[in-house]
Structure 1
Amino acid sequence: MNKLKLILLFLIAGVLLAGAGAGGAWWLLRARAPAVAGETPAPAVEKDKRNYKYVSLDKVIVMLRSDSGAPMSHYLAMDLVFKAEEKAEKHTKEHLPLLRSIAVKALSAYTLEEALNKSIDDLTVDVNRAFTEGYARDNAEQPFVEALISKLIIE
């Protein structure tokens, strides 16, 4: 009886090992399937190798409007960071007064409700659009890649 249990135990262990081996082989074949089937694998994403500097523009403060257009005692305060290529860092710093003006003009159109209902991503898109349009209007090249919001307060 003892020998029977031992043989049965070895038989079960053998079946489990064979199943694990078959599962591992299936897993490896599935991972290589696109190459085996002649499909081309997805190209690797090329990394951006440019060096960037980040230029800060602190305390862009705008009074928000009421629905009727009159100024309210509510405001929006925002700190911006401009992602600029290393060679354009100085040029971006020279443009900070213009960038502040464009940001204030774009943000001053918001009412309190509009500002509260916008996400940071939405505001980032709006501010970047305002910078792009401002530079296009002046037929000038934008000295930075994108503007990012580093701080936002709506009071």
Structure 2
Amino acid sequence: MKMIVIFALVAVVGAAAAGGAVWYMSKGDAATADAHDGKDGKDAKDKAKKVAKKEEKKDDVPPKYLTVDKVIIMLKRQPGDTASHYMSADLVISTSPKTEKEAKEQLPMLRSVAVRTLSNLPIATAQLMTIDQFAAELNKAFDETYEHEGREKPFSEVMIGKLIIE
């Protein structure tokens, strides 16, 4: 009986050690694969340290928020609809202190892109959209505009501060 208990105990300890070794090796392989990316290990480690420092610096500096107040848009009418429908939105731009001045200088262009994008919406569609969907449409339009112009966006995202549809 003692021999069976000892054998079982050795088997459990061996299985635990093997499982731990497999876990440790798979963790190491993933980290090594990510770090190497076809480059020298030292360069990859230096690059990882730089990325970590950059992310740390980002977290230290709180974002700045700029507003684009009272963007008024006339929505598309449905066939047979005689009433005009309008939307009023206040946009909030999230930027960094470094790019705040550049973002402020571009507020009129941001207003123009927002009007162009949102004025294409029919009233029926606009009434069914959520705030997040409006923000996603605007962010997509801004990304496309800056990409088309070959410039870097001086802000990270656009949010909706206020939205009224009549």
TM-score calculated relative to the size of structure 1: 0.67
The answer for the alignment partner of 1:112 in structure 2 is 123
The answer for the alignment partner of 2:164 in structure 1 is 153
Where has structure 1 moved over 2 Å in runs of 4 or more?
37-41, 67-72
Cα distance between partner residues in 1 of 2:80 and 2:106: 30
C-alpha contact 1:65 1:72 (8 A) present in aligned 2:
no
Q: 2:149 matched to 1:138?
A: yes
2:92 aligned to which of 81, 103, 106: 81
Structure 2 unmatched ranges of 5 or more: 1-18, 28-54
Cα distance between partner residues in 2 of 1:71 and 1:123: 25
- Which aligned pairs between 1:22-61 and structure 2 lie closer than 5 A? 38=20, 48-49=58-59, 50-61=61-72
Superposed CA deviations along residues 40-82 of structure 1, whole A, max 9, x for unmatched, are 79xxxx8751431001100011001113498841101100010
Question: Counterpart of 2:142 in 1: which secondary structure?
Answer: helix
Cα distance between partner residues in 1 of 2:80 and 2:155: 33
C-alpha contact 2:77 2:84 (8 A) present in aligned 1:
no
Structure 1 unmatched ranges of 5 or more: 1-36
Query: How far 1:137 sits from its partner (Å)?
Result: 1.0
Cα distance between partner residues in 2 of 1:90 and 1:61: 24
Change (3 A) 1:139 1:58: same
Cα distance between partner residues in 2 of 1:125 and 1:92: 19
Change (3 A) 1:121 1:69: farther
TM-score calculated relative to the size of structure 2: 0.63
- Length, aligned pairs only: 115
The percentage of aligned residue pairs carrying the same residue is: 43
Quick check: which has more Rg, 1 or 2?
1
Q: CA RMSD in A?
A: 2.3
The answer for the alignment partner of 1:98 in structure 2 is 109
Greater percentage in helix: 2
Question: Counterpart of 2:144 in 1: which secondary structure?
Answer: helix
Q: 2:122 matched to 1:121?
A: no
2:73 aligned to which of 28, 37, 62: 62
Greater percentage in strand: 1
Cα distance between partner residues in 2 of 1:151 and 1:101: 17
